[in-house]
């Protein structure tokens, strides 16, 4: 099936050729527009950190079930390659946007574009982060603060904005990839661990706040996963990214 590619500002979208007449009729109901021809419901999913190994493995599963995707990351070339692959795998509607999550001022506009493209966000997955050099952080306040900004503060900022949007609609799922490193401080990685502890605690409270609104908040502490971020470490019984994300995918309710 032909694929059309277009670009507008920093947003690139890939979509399949038009379906049969009436398939994209704006006069149809929201439920009809979010359903496939066989009646299955299509989820509208925002993935921030879409080029990470865990995110990409998840996206392949989502594309195969026919979900609409808005993919956000820093690397435009990687985003374009992933989007083309996911289109072939079955996603009927994909857009990508290059954003640095540390630019807090860019969050609101990005979320507006994501909602505009998808027609609303059913699921938001935050799957980005860095693994800092602990020894370098110990001798550099600036590096420590930068790593905390990336792995914690930027995540909290995005969670707050997403939570407010979903609470207003009274529906949605927010999922964050956290880590067991945040369970307790370890001398070998306490900068990373403290950032993950902040995210886990923040989302725990946010989940309680959102529950009466019908919004689900969840964090996945995946443990040690074999990804490019951990390439220099001895793996032992580490899970592969695809295996970890199949487990994540099976545990999520379909919206």
The answer to the question of residue 158 being in a domain is yes
Residue 42 structural domain:
3-17+29-251
> For residues 133 and 29, which has the higher predicted lDDT (pLDDT)?
133
Task: Return the pLDDT at 180.
Answer: 74
| CATH number, position 232 | 3.40.50.720
Q: Is residue 23 part of a domain?
A: no
**Confidence tier at 247 by pLDDT (50, 70, 90):** very low
- Alpha helices, DSSP H only, in 149-219? 154-169, 190-210
Range in 33-37, 76-80, 200-204 the model is least confident about: 33-37
- Which sequence positions are flagged as catalytic? 192
What is the per-residue pLDDT across 95-124, written as a single tens digit (0 to 9) for each? Answer: 999 999 999 999 999 999 999 999 999 999
Q: Structure tokens of 169? A: 């609609």
Give the per-residue pLDDT at 222.
54
- Tell me whether residue 12 is in a domain: yes
The answer to whether residue 46 sits within a structural domain is yes
DSSP state for residue 20 in the 8-state scheme: S
Between these two residues, 115 and 181, which has the higher pLDDT value?
Answer: 115
Looking at the whole model, is its pTM more than 0.85? no
β strands within 131-254, DSSP E:
172-178, 215-221, 225-226, 239-240
> Would you state the structure tokens that stand for residue 25, as one six-digit string?
């009729």
Average pLDDT score, the chain: 79
Task: Say if 162 falls within a structural domain.
Answer: yes
Q: Is the pLDDT of residue 78 over 50?
A: yes
Nearest to 90 by CA among 11, 50, 36, 48: 36
Domain count, the chain: 1
């Amino acid at each position: 099936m032909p694929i059309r590619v277009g670009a507008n500002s920093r947003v690139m979208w890939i979509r399949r050729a038009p379906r049969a007449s009436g398939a994209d009729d704006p006069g149809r109901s929201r439920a009809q527009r979010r359903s496939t021809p066989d009646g299955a419901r299509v989820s509208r999913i925002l993935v921030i950190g879409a080029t990470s190994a865990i995110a990409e493995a998840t996206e392949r599963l989502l594309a195969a079930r026919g979900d609409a995707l808005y993919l956000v990351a820093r690397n435009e070339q990687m985003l374009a390659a992933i989007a083309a692959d996911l289109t072939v795998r079955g996603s009927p509607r994909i857009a990508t946007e290059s954003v640095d999550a540390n630019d807090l001022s860019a969050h609101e506009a990005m979320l507006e574009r994501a909602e505009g493209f998808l027609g609303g966000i059913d699921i938001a997955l935050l799957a980005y982060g860095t693994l800092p050099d602990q020894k370098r952080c110990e001798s550099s306040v600036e590096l420590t603060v930068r790593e905390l900004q990336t792995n914690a503060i930027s995540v909290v900022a995005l969670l707050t904005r997403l939570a407010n949007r979903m609470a207003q609609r009274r529906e949605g799922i927010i999922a964050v990839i956290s880590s067991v490193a945040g369970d307790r401080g370890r001398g070998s990685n306490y900068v990373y661990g403290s950032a993950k502890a902040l995210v886990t605690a923040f989302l725990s409270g946010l989940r309680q706040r959102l529950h009466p609104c019908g919004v689900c908040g969840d964090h996945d502490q995946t443990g040690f996963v074999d990804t490019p971020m951990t390439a220099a470490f001895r793996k032992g019984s580490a899970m592969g990214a695809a295996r970890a994300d199949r487990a994540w995918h099976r545990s999520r309710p379909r919206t």
